[in-house]
């Protein structure tokens, strides 16, 4: 594992790590993480991939983990920056040779891919747990929890701190103020930001993607059940999209929204790497 840095087009510095392949290089994989999840959470996957011939890059989006400023109070950004600027910079940096480039996404990572101006440089995209975020796709008990979080708990905490103190609730990294406000706003719509009148035209970005995609959602992922996934990935209208409904019994019996990258998910990781290898062979 080697520490690396990326500088975005607007001169923001991102911190990441490169996990080198321990055998003959088969490809390069970038991990596009979930909202508020630091890159360290994906280390097991990165090590697993490296041991099987895939050089793997993890990184933190701006405002998160090792890429956050000294204080989030007063820090301003756009939630779309994570895709349009941050992930785009990593993709550009890692596509400067002939090594096939792949992307593994988690939750927000499925949103970020369609925002890339250079998505054509990625040979295959495999994403876990992405969805539209609308509470209407969730079971009733989870819906109540989420609505309480959005409308009561987090607004108070965010007003108090000046940023979304997500960590207090044990939910992940603290979030910049704009990330919270935009995320909450778009989660009010059944099709996320595609339903927002102020985002008119964004569907054209996603419609321009032609990279093969596999979207996996566990049947116990209460935040991103298959209907939620389908509501979002349908906007990758011109890409070959394979939808996989994962029975959690196929793994440890529990997956949820975070289990895709826990140690028990290694069979999923192998399937992902095998798919990347197949994509590369087709390209040849």
Give the tens place of pLDDT for each residue, 180-220.
999 999 999 999 999 999 999 999 999 999 999 999 999 99
**Half-sphere exposure at residue 4, Cβ-oriented, CA atoms within 13 angstroms:** 18
Sorted by where each begins, the domain ranges of the chain are 2-133+200-283
What are the CA-CA distances from residue 43 to residues 60, 135, 158, 237 (Å)? Answer: 12, 30, 30, 32
Q: Is the pLDDT of residue 283 over 60?
A: no
Q: In angstroms, rounded to a whole number, what is the distance separating the alpha carbons of residues 186 and 197? A: 11
Q: What is the dihedral of CA 168, 172, 173, 179, to 10 degrees?
A: -100
Q: Which of 40-49, 149-158, 229-238 has the lowest mean pLDDT?
A: 149-158
What are the CA-CA distances from residue 114 to residues 84, 111, 177 (Å)? Answer: 9, 6, 23
As a whole number, mean pLDDT of residues 257-266 equals 94
Q: Is the pLDDT of residue 170 over 80?
A: no
Closest CA to 79 of 203, 180, 205: 180
Q: What is the dihedral of CA 107, 164, 5, 96, to 10 degrees?
A: 30
The pTM of this model reads 0.96
Q: Is the pLDDT of residue 19 over 80?
A: yes
Class of domain 2-133+200-283: alpha beta
- Residue 278 structure tokens: 């197949």
């Amino acid at each position: 594992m080697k520490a690396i840095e990326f500088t975005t087009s607007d001169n923001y510095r991102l911190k990441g790590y490169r996990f080198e392949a321990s055998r003959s290089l088969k490809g390069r994989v970038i991990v596009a993480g979930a909202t508020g999840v630091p890159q360290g959470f994906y280390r097991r996957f990165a090590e697993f991939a490296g041991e099987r011939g895939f050089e793997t890059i993890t990184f933190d989006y701006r405002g998160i983990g090792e890429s956050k400023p000294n204080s989030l109070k007063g820090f301003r950004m756009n939630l779309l920056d994570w895709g349009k600027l941050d992930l785009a910079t990593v993709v550009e940096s890692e596509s400067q040779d002939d090594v096939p480039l792949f992307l593994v996404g988690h939750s927000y990572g499925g949103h970020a891919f369609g925002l890339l101006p250079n998505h054509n440089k990625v040979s295959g995209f495999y994403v876990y747990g992405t969805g539209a975020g609308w509470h209407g796709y969730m079971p009733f008990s989870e819906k109540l929890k989420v609505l309480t979080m959005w409308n009561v708990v987090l607004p108070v905490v965010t007003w108090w701190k000046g940023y979304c103190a997500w960590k207090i609730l044990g939910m992940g990294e603290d979030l910049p103020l704009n990330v919270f406000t935009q995320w909450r706003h778009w989660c009010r719509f059944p099709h996320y930001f595609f339903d927002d009148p102020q985002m008119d035209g964004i569907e054209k970005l996603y419609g321009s993607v032609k990279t093969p995609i596999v979207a996996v959602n566990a049947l116990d992922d209460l935040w991103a059940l298959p209907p939620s996934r389908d509501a979002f990935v349908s906007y990758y209208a011109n890409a070959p999209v394979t939808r996989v409904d994962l029975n959690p019994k196929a793994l440890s019996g529990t997956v949820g929204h975070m289990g895709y990258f826990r140690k028990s998910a290694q069979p999923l990781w192998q399937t992902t790497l095998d798919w990347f290898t197949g994509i590369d062979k087709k390209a040849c």
